[in-house]
Structure 1
Amino acid sequence: MAASISSESTQLERVPKTKEVASSNQSTNTGKIEVTLPIEGQDVDASEKFEFDSADVEQQGKKGSDVAISPRAAILLFIGLAMATFLASSGGTIIATALPKIASDFKAQSQMSWVATAYLLTYSKFSDIFGRKIMIMFAIITFMIGSAGAGGATTMTMLIAFRAIQGLGGSGLLSIVLIIISDIFPLDQRPKYQSIIWSVFGISSVIGPLLGGVFVQQTTWRWCFLINLPLGIITIASVLLFLRLPFQRQQLKEQLARIDYLGTFLVIVAVICLLLPITWGGTTYAWDSPVIIVLFCVAVILIGCLMWAESKAVEAIIPPRLFRNVTVSLLFGVNFLTGMSFLGVIFYSPIYFQVVQGVGATASGLHLMPMVLGLVISSIGSGAVLSKVGDYRYFIWMGTAMVAIGVGLCMLLDADSNMGEQIGYLLIVGFGIGFILQTCMLAAQAAVDKKDMAVVTALCGFMNSIGGGIGIAMCSALFNNHLSDNFKKLPLEVLVVLDQFDVDKSITAVQLLPAEVKVVVVEAYFDTFQFIFKCILPIACATFVLSLLIRKLRILDPSEVIMAAG
């Protein structure tokens, strides 16, 4: 039987190769087709081998998908992939409403930002090297190990360490999920399923704090992590039972040789050296202390080393050539700054509602639901009319402008703000974020060649995550410094009461203070929250200004959109 492989839809399109197949042998006994492809840039004898089921290849030509899979199996696998996306996304934000309780239990308010930033420190892209199934299984199992350890943590240091392990598994899950979707669904169905995944990602990012609030009030904050175990098992089962993809035969030694070890190491260390002084500055150490200055200098040096190392790497995780594209650099900047402002709002709004408004953890999560509503409406709406409008920039401009307006309005929130103000301000922020996330990624894909669509997609998410980590660390430092200054202005008799209740170590203790003292302390807190939003506002405005510099981009056709999954 002659093996006919569609160049438009098959997985082989994403593997470096020459246009012609060097050899093709079919085993009549096994029904397998072995395809040997020359590797681009190497000798003719160098090749890569793939194995397919002959019936699958014949069927894929009819369906336009990379592998043959029954509709029922595809849907069940998709449910598992959606669950993986939910875990990765909500895992980063579910502790937003639980942070006050966690910090209070461990008496470590100054360290609570690390519970959030530790999850955002890691980044990896190995699915092209080791295969989809192996990498998604590794990611989920690692995520579950980190979740189990964080759920059983007895100290803040232990919790932060396991959050980093959890982040190692969670990082990159979305990219792997999108890759698999492009492999298993026909061309005409891929945009629909990818849109669902992006919706799950956005909704779970905001709904995570609501779940965290429910766990804190009804059971314990530890369920913010332990809930991932049964959900992870469902994902693993669906992957094991239904994920059948073509595989690349390659020796482990060759696979390991393709990893950009130096680049990965420099990225992680550089981010840590940047986050540490931002978090410690003004609290643990003075801003002009040698420790802070040295860490900032080391971070700059490491970033320089990273740029040099990536220019020499064979398969760089951050290819420098992308940054020479002005439009791509601008879109990376928009993603980075959006992450800073978005996660700053996500993490500090629930704390505002709990401390200043005096609501419970669950209610503070419910207060974020307007952001979910705005995000869903704008995300679906922009996707529906994008092809008709014909220009990505309109949605990016609209989104960045609405985030800036929403953050500016959040500066007006105080102890007397009514429900209408709270809902309206967060609704505007949600609308803005919904316009930005997916549209920004599509614009970045439109600005590069097909060969770079995969890596530019991954880097868009990476920039957003790193921006979020730095944003949370920055807000934490500003919060602790400003609150400390406000406390120093309080009368001595008030400070004595605060010491008795350990308010400097436990946010939840504010609600236990005597009424006359509580009023003064809450005023100090909402003044600090207003200060935080004042600091986020310039970042949101800079995002809007940056978006205005993006040039007009063509709308991708469906055959190009599928390449985004890498």
Structure 2
Amino acid sequence: MKSTTTPSIYSQYSGKEEIEDKSSEQPQQKVETDSLDVERQGDNPVPAISGNAAILLFIGLAMATFLASLDGTIIATALPKIASDFKAQSQMSWVATAYLLTYNAFQPLYGKFSDIFGRKIMILFACVTFMVGSAGAGGATTMTMLIVFRAIQGLGASGLLSIVLIIISDIFSLEDRPKYQSIIWSVFGISSVIGPLLGGVFVQQVTWRWCFLINLPLGVVTIVSVLLFLRLPFERQDLKKQLARIDYLGTALIIAAVICLLVPPQVIGRMLIVVLIWAESKALEPIIPPRLFLNKTVSVLFGVNFLTGMGFLGVIFYAPIYFQVVKGAGATASGLQLLPMVLGLVISSIASGAAMAKVRDYRIFIWMGTTMMSVGIGLCTLFNAHSTMGHQIGFLLIVGLGIGLILQTCMLAAQAAVEKEDMAVATALCGFFNSIGGGVGIAMCSALFNNHLTAEFGKMSLEALIVIKEYNIAQEITQVQHLPVEVKGLVIEAYVSTFQFIYKCLTPIACAAFLLSLFIRKLRVLDPSEVIMAAA
């Protein structure tokens, strides 16, 4: 692969801005090298990999991203059928929650673990774990068994996206990185949005079990490509030394804090975060180095990622329900109607990747993206029973265009704002804050949705409530379309009001992402040695 030593694609600080002095930070640890094939151009290590091998490796990495993102949303349209088959309506939400809990709890760990054990070992571990969880979920005979294997799936999936992005930052120069990361983020967005569509197809055409079994042949593609083509510098240490480098207290606190943030009681989660900050400040090799949060630009970027995740997942989960309940669309059709959002995300992600080298300032893309996301989600508050297809396409397209501009630009900016030894952790944390934001957003929207809908039903007459109970609308929301005409109108009106309320709550969150992005500092010129990958 050709080495690129372009001085920078970033702009310099303006006259009065001072470049942060990083020399006073903790001393850089020794970077270890591997016995794998490495070419050297000057002082910069470049992986020895041919053009065809790079393409095949990249396909495998993209497939890993597709799988991790897909399983977060594919069960959205399959949950009612799964709950019906197992006769476990009360446990239905845990099929989604179990995956999100482990996905979010373990994601920040993979960045540091990939520094300790190596990128190749960690992505293979993540992929195999994910496939074991998929096989178990696909063959589950009880709801409890399904929930357990969904948690195992999440454990594996949490490493797939973060390690993929770390590997890309290793093997591609900063100049080439945007176009490759834009493809990865496009795959992430596409799989997130087509998940409900694919889940609906499986439920209607074959069985919901294929929502999980489809991962097995696709996961093999990732494993084979990584085994054959991934070559990164890494010196193999004695296992005892590697295990001694793990921050066990920090690891336990991160897992516990994230779980407590996503499920009641959240107060305990906040307390654990305080303890975590203290513990990480004392650790020799912290999982989450506190110095990252002392970097104002990095902290702001993490915040933008968190708020974007809340808006993104909120739209993905509740737009299909709106299409099914209010517009009467089937499971498959409701997924298809999210395609404008996919199209917008792909177009803006690829376009921003191509334009970065010319524009030379990431902040512009983040500002544009957060603005469009805010406008798009705000327009979604206008959805009602009479909204036209043009409104649905236009509003979701704007949301997708905005999110596509945000995802990869925030990550690239964070990578450029940290030292080499922190790049893997910063990359993993960008994905972590985006996904934890999505988890918090879904939990928040779920509570708001249920409370608001209950209040709307409380305004109805006793006769209407009796009919609603007879049709079991609380468990089978698709039954709304089969209600008697006089009650159907009232129920749809209640749902419309609730959906509008949800988007009214998400709009200020998106606006907060824009306001926060205004504090991103203009990045310094990178040293040529920083343009090429950091050793693993």
Please confirm whether the aligned pair reaches a TM-score higher than 0.5, indicating the same fold.
Answer: yes
CA contact (8 A) 2:83 2:89 kept: yes
3-state SS, counterpart of residue 171 of structure 1:
helix
Aligned-partner residue type, residue 474 of structure 1: M
Structure 1, unmatched stretches of 5+, are 1-5, 10-38, 278-294
Residue of 297, 303, 326 corresponding to 1:333: 303
The answer on 1:276 being equivalent to 2:263 is: yes
CA contact (8 A) 2:179 2:353 kept: no
CA contact (8 A) 1:482 1:528 kept: yes
Which residue number in structure 1 is paired with residue 207 of structure 2?
A: 220
| CA apart distance, 1:426 | 0.4
CA contact (8 A) 1:48 1:250 kept: no
Structure scoring higher RCO (CA < 8 A, sep ≥ 6) equals 2
Aligned-partner residue type, residue 389 of structure 2: M
1:107-146 counterparts in 2 under 5 A? 112-121=92-101, 122=105, 123=107, 124-125=109-110, 126-146=113-133
After TM superposition, the structure 1 stretch with the greater mean CA deviation from structure 2, 304-313 or 546-555, is 546-555
**What do the CA deviations read for 1:498-547 (whole angstroms, capped 9, x no partner)?**
22232212223333433333222222212111111111112111111111
Which residue number in structure 2 is paired with residue 161 of structure 1?
A: 148
The answer on 1:96 being equivalent to 2:76 is: yes
The answer on 1:233 being equivalent to 2:186 is: no
| CA apart distance, 1:253 | 1.5
Residue of 315, 318, 322 corresponding to 2:285: 315
Q: Normalising by structure 1, report the TM-score.
A: 0.82
Mapped partners of 1:528, 1:86: distance in 2:
32
1:179-218 counterparts in 2 under 5 A? 179-181=166-168, 192-218=179-205
Which residue number in structure 2 is paired with residue 250 of structure 1?
A: 237
Residue of 295, 304, 324 corresponding to 1:354: 324
Which residue number in structure 2 is paired with residue 423 of structure 1?
A: 393
The answer on 1:541 being equivalent to 2:504 is: no
CA contact (8 A) 2:163 2:428 kept: no
**What do the CA deviations read for 1:218-271 (whole angstroms, capped 9, x no partner)?**
223222211111111222222233334444221111111222222222122112
Aligned-partner residue type, residue 192 of structure 2: S
Identical positions, percent: 75
After TM superposition, the structure 1 stretch with the greater mean CA deviation from structure 2, 192-201 or 324-333, is 192-201
Mapped partners of 1:547, 1:348: distance in 2:
26
The answer on 1:267 being equivalent to 2:254 is: yes
- TM-aligned CA distance change 1:151 to 1:362, over 3 Å: same
The answer on 1:51 being equivalent to 2:31 is: no
CA contact (8 A) 2:4 2:173 kept: no
Which residue number in structure 1 is paired with residue 379 of structure 2?
A: 409
1:371-450 counterparts in 2 under 5 A? 371-450=341-420
- TM-aligned CA distance change 1:165 to 1:113, over 3 Å: same
Aligned-partner residue type, residue 222 of structure 1: R
Aligned-partner residue type, residue 463 of structure 2: E
**What do the CA deviations read for 1:272-295 (whole angstroms, capped 9, x no partner)?**
222223xxxxxxxxxxxxxxxxx2
Mapped partners of 1:488, 1:549: distance in 2:
44
3-state SS, counterpart of residue 263 of structure 2:
helix
Q: Normalising by structure 2, report the TM-score.
A: 0.86
- TM-aligned CA distance change 1:380 to 1:185, over 3 Å: closer
After TM superposition, the structure 1 stretch with the greater mean CA deviation from structure 2, 315-324 or 433-442, is 315-324
Residue of 45, 49, 55 corresponding to 1:69: 49
| CA apart distance, 1:416 | 1.0
3-state SS, counterpart of residue 35 of structure 2:
strand
Mapped partners of 1:345, 1:185: distance in 2:
33
3-state SS, counterpart of residue 357 of structure 1:
coil
Aligned-partner residue type, residue 208 of structure 1: G
**What do the CA deviations read for 1:363-420 (whole angstroms, capped 9, x no partner)?**
1111111111111111122222223222222111111111111111101101111100
Which residue number in structure 1 is paired with residue 12 of structure 2?
A: none
After TM superposition, the structure 1 stretch with the greater mean CA deviation from structure 2, 418-427 or 550-559, is 550-559
Mapped partners of 2:234, 2:525: distance in 1:
32
3-state SS, counterpart of residue 216 of structure 1:
helix
Mapped partners of 1:484, 1:381: distance in 2:
44
Which residue number in structure 2 is paired with residue 501 of structure 1?
A: 471
3-state SS, counterpart of residue 229 of structure 1:
helix
3-state SS, counterpart of residue 553 of structure 1:
coil
| CA apart distance, 1:48 | 6.4
Mapped partners of 1:556, 1:438: distance in 2:
19
CA contact (8 A) 1:150 1:162 kept: yes
Mapped partners of 1:391, 1:375: distance in 2:
20
| CA apart distance, 1:141 | 1.1
After TM superposition, the structure 1 stretch with the greater mean CA deviation from structure 2, 361-370 or 116-125, is 116-125
- TM-aligned CA distance change 1:296 to 1:244, over 3 Å: closer
Mapped partners of 1:400, 1:147: distance in 2:
35
CA contact (8 A) 2:178 2:354 kept: no
The answer on 1:532 being equivalent to 2:464 is: no
| CA apart distance, 1:488 | 2.3
- TM-aligned CA distance change 1:516 to 1:401, over 3 Å: same
- TM-aligned CA distance change 1:344 to 1:266, over 3 Å: same
After TM superposition, the structure 1 stretch with the greater mean CA deviation from structure 2, 554-563 or 193-202, is 554-563
CA contact (8 A) 2:130 2:155 kept: yes
CA contact (8 A) 2:198 2:335 kept: yes
| CA apart distance, 1:99 | 3.7
- TM-aligned CA distance change 1:251 to 1:307, over 3 Å: same
Mapped partners of 1:303, 1:241: distance in 2:
40
Which residue number in structure 2 is paired with residue 479 of structure 1?
A: 449
**What do the CA deviations read for 1:302-329 (whole angstroms, capped 9, x no partner)?**
1111111111122222111111122221
Aligned-partner residue type, residue 394 of structure 2: G
CA contact (8 A) 1:258 1:315 kept: yes
The structure with the largest alpha-carbon Rg is 1
Mapped partners of 2:172, 2:412: distance in 1:
19
Mapped partners of 1:440, 1:245: distance in 2:
25
- TM-aligned CA distance change 1:255 to 1:387, over 3 Å: same
Structure 2, unmatched stretches of 5+, are 7-26
Mapped partners of 1:330, 1:247: distance in 2:
32
After TM superposition, the structure 1 stretch with the greater mean CA deviation from structure 2, 427-436 or 479-488, is 479-488
| CA apart distance, 1:347 | 0.8
3-state SS, counterpart of residue 248 of structure 1:
coil
**What do the CA deviations read for 1:183-216 (whole angstroms, capped 9, x no partner)?**
5568876554343323322322222222222222
Aligned-partner residue type, residue 236 of structure 1: I
